[in-house]
């Protein structure tokens, strides 16, 4: 199964109603099932630099690694598929590059970025993220957040210091506890999930989720008569209608039919020896 025949991808990004620059960045490759979204932060235009470094590096490293990756294998030490570890390593490298750039050039001092990425393979998806850009799954009329924000507010929620309502209205909800470029190394959260036909996966910056509640996001995705591009545009419009106080970026991926990842030459060779 050719992956581009089994998934649809749409992207929308908008500066919003307040900001002068769009510091978000995205990268897509439907042929390898990759989608990456980064939300930059820092001084004048530095956020744009950080997010661009992140998406470019993550895309390059993952696409290169997949060319020789032994498919369908699980790393015994971590329990993750090798595809997931490729994502982890690509994001870690992006962190190193951004951290070095921020320290080598005073103009970029303090820059950083969040990142969330999906990779689809063998009827699965891996979601990797750092920061408060989110990954969701819409399935059968239900929207589920698959990532956990790396923010001060999320830590308050986890400890019981905040109720969900307090978290939603907090003025501190954009204080991230983890991002690319802030330290020399970073912990990347990974999640692996089996996909189903008609699933929709949403990657978004906090310019959407700070203003549009999950029920409204779910309602926008449930409009089956709309194209995926229309759904993405609708979500951007919802955030702008609430004030558009930040950049808004959205990637939507719909599963249209089951898919399996073609075996690499290493896998085929291993299978040949096993069957001989």
Enumerate the domain spans of the chain. Answer: 3-260
Mean pLDDT of 119-140: 97
Is 262 in a helix, a strand, or coil?
coil
* Sequence-ordered list of residues with C-beta below 8 angstroms from that of 254, at least 6 positions apart, any chain: 7, 8, 198, 199, 200, 201, 228
Mean pLDDT of the chain: 92
Mean pLDDT of 22-29: 97
Residue 221 tokens, joined:
């995705």
The CATH classification number of 3-260 equals 3.60.40.10
Q: Cα dist. 80→36, 114, 148, 153 in Å?
A: 20, 22, 18, 29
**What confidence category does residue 228 fall into, taking pLDDT thresholds of 50, 70 and 90?**
very high
The whole-angstrom separation of Cα 152 and Cα 179 is 12
> Which of 118, 124, 122, 258 is CA-nearest to residue 202?
118
Whole-model pTM: value is 0.92
DSSP-derived secondary structure for 18-49: S-SS--EEEEEETTTTEEEEEEEESSTTHHHH
Mean pLDDT of 218-222: 94
């Amino acid at each position: 199964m050719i992956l581009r025949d089994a998934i649809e991808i749409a992207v929308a990004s908008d500066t919003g109603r307040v900001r002068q620059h769009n510091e978000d960045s995205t990268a897509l490759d439907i042929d390898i099932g990759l989608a990456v979204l980064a939300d930059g932060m820092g001084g004048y235009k530095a956020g744009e630099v950080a997010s661009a470094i992140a998406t470019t590096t993550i895309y390059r490293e993952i696409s290169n690694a997949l060319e020789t990756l032994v498919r369908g294998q699980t790393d015994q030490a971590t329990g993750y598929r090798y595809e997931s570890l490729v994502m982890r390593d690509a994001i870690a490298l992006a962190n190193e590059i951004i951290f070095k750039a921020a320290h080598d050039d005073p103009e970029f001092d303090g820059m950083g970025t969040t990142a969330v990425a999906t990779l689809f393979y063998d009827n699965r998806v891996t979601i990797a993220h750092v920061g408060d850009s989110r990954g969701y799954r819409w399935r059968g009329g239900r929207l589920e957040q698959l990532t956990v924000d790396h923010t001060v507010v999320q830590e308050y929620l986890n400890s019981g210091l905040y109720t969900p309502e307090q978290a939603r209205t907090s003025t501190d909800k954009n204080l991230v506890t983890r991002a690319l470029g802030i330290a020399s190394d970073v912990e990347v959260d990974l999640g692996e999930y089996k996909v189903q036909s008609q699933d929709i996966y949403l990657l978004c910056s906090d310019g959407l989720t700070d203003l549009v509640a999950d029920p409204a996001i779910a309602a926008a995705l449930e409009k089956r008569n709309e194209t995926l591009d229309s759904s993405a545009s609708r979500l951007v419009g919802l955030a702008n209608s609430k004030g558009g106080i930040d950049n808004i970026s959205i990637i939507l991926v719909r599963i249209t039919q089951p898919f399996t990842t073609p075996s690499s030459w290493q896998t085929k060779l291993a299978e040949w020896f096993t069957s001989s």
